[in-house]
Amino acid sequence: MERRRYPMPMPFGWYAVAYSDELEIGDAIPVTYFGKDLVLFRTESGKSCLLDAYCPHLGAHLGYGIHENAGRGGRIQGESIVCPFHAWKFNGEGICTDIPYAKNMPPKVKGKKCLPSYPITETNQVIWAWYHPDECDPLWEVEQHEEANSTEWAPLQRYEWEIATHSQEMAENAADPAHFLYVHRTSSMPEWDIEYEEFRSRGVQKARMPTPRGEVDGAIINASVGPGQGFTKFVGIAETFLMGMTTPIDEDRVKCRFAFTQPKVDGEVVTGGVNGAIIKNIVGQLEEDKPIWENKIYRPLPVLCDGDGPIAKFRKWYSQFYVDWDSSQM
């Protein structure tokens, strides 16, 4: 009998489902998030939409096209996506807008939402979808960042991973300074100060950071809004801004996106040297964490020592993003 490594359900919140430039007008692509097959598309007016993938008629996947759309995803017509099987059309709210061969719209679909849809917003060059198992409206907004929306900062430098873990396990690293000594081989344990308030967390760390010229004193300011939107500012070496975005594929797998940017100097993008070294180091740290995450289990009520970080406090804060979950076992 297979045992799940993580008893927690998927947390609700805003999650990155694509970068904005990955979805052009008229595009439709199949994606899998939140344990469901979905279709992400952009209408002719430029609106991005996310629906459950399977047509309520006879179950065709809306994200796979045929004829001129073969290999390109589903077909978009106006503000609707067109089913490749019988050309039923659905708008971004999941309402059937047309059945071209029907004399009368079936009462079950006429003017009704017949496909689950997900609230969408676009900011920071990212398409964000709101997930809640009870389909509740969003409880907070995605935070905008000047660094990701300004021409005075370099284009986003992107990295992606699919990781066999739960999003809480990844986020818990921010409350675990001791692992830096042994997983990332830092010369000292970071000094940690973390605050949790409503849907946000914010931490400030002081640490010695490696550069091509040796280690220097630096600070890391990290924050998150909900479980899916994290961001980190690195100061003291080469100013660097990181968006860390973690999206559940299902209960045991996540898609992790790192997007870095650094300020331009005299209008030019700076590469190499210290600027490149800090990004390489951060990416390398995730690669070091990955085999730990993928081969561990979740320990509810863990045995902790006086040198551990605020893991219990973190877990209590994170528990608010679950529905029907006994947080006393965290």
pLDDT, tens digit, for every residue of 130-179?
999 999 999 999 999 999 999 999 999 999 999 999 999 999 999 998 99
219: β partners: 206, 235
| CA nearest neighbour of 131 among 21, 228, 54, 7 | 228
Contact 321, 330 (CB under 8 A): no
Contact 83, 55 (CB under 8 A): yes
Q: 37: how many CB neighbours lie within 10 A of its CB?
A: 14
Task: For residue 54, give both structure tokens.
Answer: 């399977």
Res 164: pLDDT: 97
How many Å apart are CA 279 and CA 285, to the nearest integer?
10
In percent, the amount of the chain with pLDDT more than 70 equals 96
Mean pLDDT of the chain: 92
**79 φ, ψ to 5°?**
-105, 15
pLDDT tens track for 101-137? 999 999 999 889 999 999 999 999 999 999 999 999 9
- Angle formed at CA 136 by CA 226 and CA 29, multiple of 5 degrees: 75
pLDDT at 329 over 90: no
Domains delineated in the chain: 13-131 (2.102.10.10), 148-322 (3.90.380.10)
- Over residues 177-230, the pLDDT tens digits come to 899 999 998 877 877 789 999 999 999 887 666 666 666 677 889 999 999 999
The token duo for 315 is: 């877990």
Lowest mean pLDDT among 2-11, 32-41, 142-151, 215-224: 215-224
